[in-house]
Structures are given as structure tokens and as C-alpha cells.
Structure 1
């Protein structure tokens, strides 16, 4: 469990670095802020996101799961609000960042699944 969380945090850090270069509207003051944001995003996704997901089940069903993209965007915005040195200016920048972070996490999980199936 702890190993999986650490891997997720590392993936978040790499995805945030990539997003900071690609997405306009993200300001990063230091590498420490990026590492802290990756760790904080891991904690937020571990504790806060499941509660929000549970509370928004009707919206997720109504939108056929697309509301999860909005929830991921909120988690990125919350991370930026709590992490000094990381600024995400606007919903669109947070949305693009959440797409990049989600894509990175999905790719790593898919690679791990394929590796597990080869054994």
C-alpha cells in the first residue's frame, strides 16, 4: 500500500513537471514546490477525493462518469491553493493539468498491468 502511494506521488511529480512546461497558466517557484505539490496531490487523492467521489455519485451517473474530470480538476486546484510556490491560474489550466496527471497515472497503471500479465 505504501509503495503504491509513493509510486503515485512520483508519477504526480513527473506529470506536474511536464504540465508546468506544456500548460500556460502554471507558475512554479522551485523544484521543492513541485515535489511538495506531487506529495500533497497524493495525500489529497488518498483522503479527500474518495469522499468527493462518494458525494457526487448522482452527478457521475448522470454525466456517465465525465464529472470525474471536474473532480480531478478540483483536486488540482486544491493542491495549488494549499501549496505555496505553485500557482494554477484559471479553471482551464487546472483542467489541462488534471488531464496530464490522469494520463500519466493511466499509462503507468496500464504498463504495470501488461507487465503483470506477461509473468
Structure 2
């Protein structure tokens, strides 16, 4: 259970850092980031597999690059469902999802090193 909470906090911090780095993404506070992280987990568990299934031919055709678009759509959907978390444009969502994964991986490696 503590590993889950640590991952949740790391992702929320990564989301705050991403919002700081990209001007088109705004988050009003850490509580909103924690809620957005929870919603992101739900979206990634329920909606994203359905999107991947429907876009599989296009993903194969683009050699996997269309997965970046699917991630951006998921990121935008999280901002739509979470009050206090806004993403202005599609490209902000695209770059935000890329930056979020990089920062989250970096922080995860730092805090989970034992």
C-alpha cells in the first residue's frame, strides 16, 4: 500500500512540475494534482485500452507514433474531468504527456532507489 501512495505522490508532483514548465497547463494546487492523478489512473485503466483498440491500425501504420496522440487525448480528458486542472491546446496536452512521463520516470527512479 505504501508503494501505491508513493507512486501517487510522485505522479502528482510530476504533474505540478509539468504545469510549471508548460505555459498552457495550469493546476491550482497539490490537492487538484492528486485528484487529477487519480482520474488519470482511471482513464488509463478504462478509456485508454478502448482508444488503443480502435486506433490499432493507425498505430501500426505510424509505427507506434500515434500512441503520442492517444496519450494527449487521455491527458486532455483528464483536464476536462478535473476542475482546477486546465490544458489549453492539443499541443500543450501532447507536450504535457511527454514531459509528465519523463519527469515521473526520473522522480520514480530517485525515490524508489533503495
The normalised TM-score by structure 2 is 0.82
Size of the aligned set, in residue pairs, is 111
Residue 19 of structure 1, CA deviation: 0.5
Cα distance between partner residues in 1 of 2:60 and 2:107: 27
| Poorly superposed stretches of 4+, deviation over 3 Å | 2-11, 104-109
Question: SS in structure 2 opposite 1:13?
Answer: helix
Task: Give 5+ residue unaligned stretches, structure 1.
Answer: none
- Alpha carbons of 1:62 and 1:11: their partners in 2 closer, same or farther (altered >3 Å)? farther
Residues in 1 aligned to 2:49 and 2:2: alpha-carbon distance in whole angstroms? 19
- RMSD (Å) for aligned C-alpha atoms: 2.3
Residue equivalent to 1:16? 15
Q: How much has 1:90 moved relative to structure 2?
A: 0.7
Alignment gaps of 5+ in structure 2 = none
Change (3 A) 1:45 1:3: farther
